[in-house]
Structure formats: C-alpha cells, structure tokens
Amino acid sequence: MQTGIANVPLHGGHCPPWLFEKMKQLGAVMVEVIVLEYGPAEVLRRLSDPVWFQTFGSVLGFDWHSSGLTTVVCGALKEGLGKSQGELGIFFAGGKGKASRKTPQEIAEAGEKYGLSNDLAALQGTSRLVAKVDSAAVQDGYQLYHHFFIFDQAGNWAVIQQGMNKENRYARRYHWLSEDLHSFVDDPHSGICGLPEANVLNLVYHDNQATRKASVELCQEKPELVSKIYKSIARVNQPKPAYQQLSLFDEQLRVGLEHELATPAKSCRIMTMPKHHPIPSARYLDKILYQLYDRPPGSYKNLLERPGVGPSTLRALAMVAEVTHGALPSFQDPVRYTFAHGGKDNYPFPVQGADLTHSLEVLRTAINKARLGEKDKLQSLRKLAQVEGRLVTQTCPQV
C-alpha cells in the first residue's frame, strides 16, 4: 500500500558538500541501528512513512520543508550505505532525473553482485508500475522526476517518488510499501496526509471500479467507434459553474451523443479540464487505440503496464467510458517533524556541527559495542525513545 503523501514547497539551490558528507555518515549509522535492532524490513516500513522520513531528513540537518529534502536524503542513503548493502541485506536503486531511469538496471546489478535469489524481474516490473500509477493513473498535476526503490533480500520493497507542479510551486512526495499491498489499481493509497487538490482524477480509487472495467472493455472495441465518441466530446468546450466541477461532463452533451451509441447514455456531461490536464491529442489516441485493439489488455493493471499508455490515454478512455457505459468517474485525491541539528538554511537555527558529530559518534559506538555483544547502549537509546513517546502522548493533543 502507499503509506502517505507529503506536499512540500519547491526550493532551488544545492546542499553544501560538507553537510552532505555528514548526512551520508549519520544517515548510514542510523539505518544500521534499525537493521541491527529490528531487521531490514523495518527500514522499509519507516522510509515508507512520510512523517518519519521528514523527521529523518530534519535530524540529518536538511531543510525541514524543502522539496530538496527528498532527493538529498535518498542520495545520502544510497551513497552512505553503498558499500554495506550486502552486509545489511538492504539495497537502493534509482534517484533523481536520469538516475530514476536506471532503476531497473541497478536492481539487476544488485542481484548479480550480491547473489540475490528473489525475482528481480518482478521487482523491476513493480518499479515501473508504481511510477505509472502516480504519474498516469493519479492525475493530480505533479510530474514525477524522482523515483527511489529500496528492497531487501526477501523481496520486500518500498518506493519514494516525487513529482513537481510548476503552477503552484509545490512538490508532492509519494511513499509506497509492499507490505499488505493487495492491488496496484484498487485503493493502493492509504494513510494519506497533505492538502487535497481540486480536479484530481484518481483512476485507482475504489469507487472507479466501473471506469476501470469499462476502460479495459473499450480496448476491445473498434478504435473508430471509440475515437468518434471521444472526438464528439472534445468538440464541446463550455465554461462550467463551480458546483459542477466534480464531473467530467455536463447533461447538455447527452442529445449530441445518444445517436452514436447502441444504448442511451446514462450520464453524459460536458468536460471540465483543469489547466494541467489538456484534452489529449485525438491523433495520438488513434494510434494507441489500434495497438490496444490488436493486443487487448486482460486487466486494468495490464493496461497500465502497456508501453505508450499514459495520463492522456487513461483520461480519454475514462471519458468515453462514461458515455458508453455510464461509468461516472469519482474524483478522490489520495492526499508532524522535529529539529535536532538545525537546518541548512539556518531555520529554525543553523546546523550545529558539533552536536551532529556527537550524535554520529554515539550511534557508531553503540553499533560497534552491539556487534561485540554489548547492547546496553542500544537498549538505553530504546528506553529513552519509549519514555519520550509516553511524554509526547501525555502532553500533545491528538490530531
């Protein structure tokens, strides 16, 4: 399941080299402590929690609310733990921009280097499918530019990916976890936090089962029929009153389309498109429809996995599905941290180099002693965390 979403402002600039080096070291030893105490699967669980991840980045000394926290923290983990992946049994692939496209290759390289027995092809497919869900099936206006894939020797995995919305100058971070995931296309999002967006077409929302089923069935219809109906919809471009923004179409379209359908349309409405969702190109749609007709997908998951099927294709199929099958799409957007060492922008205070180094040494000492069988320091840290947790519960209001 996807365990959360975080919305953060887009910030430019670069992480100072000296701070990145410290982040690599401190992040590595913190992950080592978690693996030593709880196992690799616990690292996946924590990284899949947007609140924990934000806290983790703050503890490492990075900006508490910057979009750069995602890319820098993931990069620090990948570099800081690069040589100890085999020992810890946890592996990292992907990253920002061009690095994200190397994810399948890096999964294969890790399998070959460390002799992993799990199904690497399945992990590669999962990486592509998770990216497709948040970039094409969830149409919220955020263009993915970061994809980070973490997996262990048992084949468990987590994904951290981030998209950019140039209009509102925000980034949105999506966290996924393999644990308890039952379907990639039926409510994979769970425990979401963030600000809901308007006009979000979430095609993997549970209530859109009819739209998904109809979209798959339309791939078996003659492309000429689907294209004709879609072009009829696309010709209509009328302004919408605010109270009708939750639907793609307006009742006024019914008369103009009913003669083209074998059965009367149940709910035909004029399309309302937000700025970030232009009407898909009918010419491109014709091309992909013929490809789908030649090899119809057996399920919505197969449709998502098909090369060339992106946001515009899925949206067009959803639009035609409403007209032909009466499958009215439902719009449902799948939408706490601490400061220990300061932040790179001097907020809420400058990074405290001495404190950061001290924390690093305490954890290193605890790890080294634990490897020798002396776990008293790790146990003390665990008890301190338990006491702190009780104090927070007693003093902070529930949210």
Q: In the prediction, which pLDDT does 299 show?
A: 96
Enter the tokens of residue 277. 């969702």
In this structure, how many other beta carbons lie within 10 angstroms of the beta carbon of residue 11? 14
Residue ranges of the domains in the chain?
Answer: 2-197, 207-325
pLDDT mean across residues, the chain = 76
Span between the terminal Cα atoms of the chain, in Å: 22
Interatomic CA distance for residues 144 and 116, integer angstroms: 29
Q: C-alpha distances in angstroms, 20 versus 11, 16, 34, 80? A: 17, 6, 21, 10
Q: In the prediction, which pLDDT does 121 show?
A: 94
Q: In the prediction, which pLDDT does 301 show?
A: 94
**Is the pLDDT score of 183 beyond 80?**
yes
State how far Cα 228 lies from the chain centre.
34
Which phi and psi (to 5°) does residue 148 adopt? -125, 120
% of the chain surpassing 90 pLDDT = 36
Q: In the prediction, which pLDDT does 141 show?
A: 87
Q: Once rounded to an integer, what is the mean pLDDT over residues 266-289?
A: 52
Which tens digits make up the pLDDT trace of 315-355? 888 888 887 877 877 776 665 334 444 455 554 445 556 65
Q: In the prediction, which pLDDT does 332 show?
A: 67
Q: Is 4 helix (H, G, I), strand (E, B) or coil?
A: strand
Q: In the prediction, which pLDDT does 64 show?
A: 52
Interatomic CA distance for residues 265 and 233, integer angstroms: 13
Q: In the prediction, which pLDDT does 192 show?
A: 45
**Is the pLDDT score of 241 beyond 50?**
no
Interatomic CA distance for residues 126 and 149, integer angstroms: 10
Which tens digits make up the pLDDT trace of 103-143? 999 999 999 999 998 799 999 999 999 999 999 999 988 89
**Under 8 Å CB-to-CB from 338, ≥6 apart: which residues?**
55, 58, 59
Please tell me which residue, 379 or 288, carries the higher pLDDT value.
288
Q: In the prediction, which pLDDT does 395 show?
A: 42
**Amino acid (1-letter code) at residue 154:** A
Least confident piece of the model among 39-53, 98-112, 200-214, 322-336: 322-336
186-212 burial: b if 16+ Cβ within 10 Å, else e: ebbbeebbbeebebbbbbbbeebbbbb
Burial of 225 (0-12, 13-18, 19+ CB in 10 A): middle
| pTM tops 0.85, yes or no | no
**Amino acid (1-letter code) at residue 219:** C
Is the peptide bond between 348 and the residue preceding it cis, with omega within 30 degrees of 0? yes
Q: In the prediction, which pLDDT does 344 show?
A: 53
Can you give the length of the chain in residues? 399
Report CA dihedral (337, 341, 344, 349) to the nearest 10 degrees: 90
**Is the pLDDT score of 388 beyond 90?**
no
Q: In the prediction, which pLDDT does 38 show?
A: 87
Q: In the prediction, which pLDDT does 320 show?
A: 86
In this structure, how many other beta carbons lie within 10 angstroms of the beta carbon of residue 75? 21
**Is the pLDDT score of 239 beyond 70?**
no
What region, left, alpha or beta, does residue 136 occupy, with left being phi > 0 and alpha being psi -120 to 50 degrees?
alpha
Interatomic CA distance for residues 6 and 231, integer angstroms: 37
Q: How confident is the model at residue 372 (pLDDT cuts 50, 70, 90)?
A: low
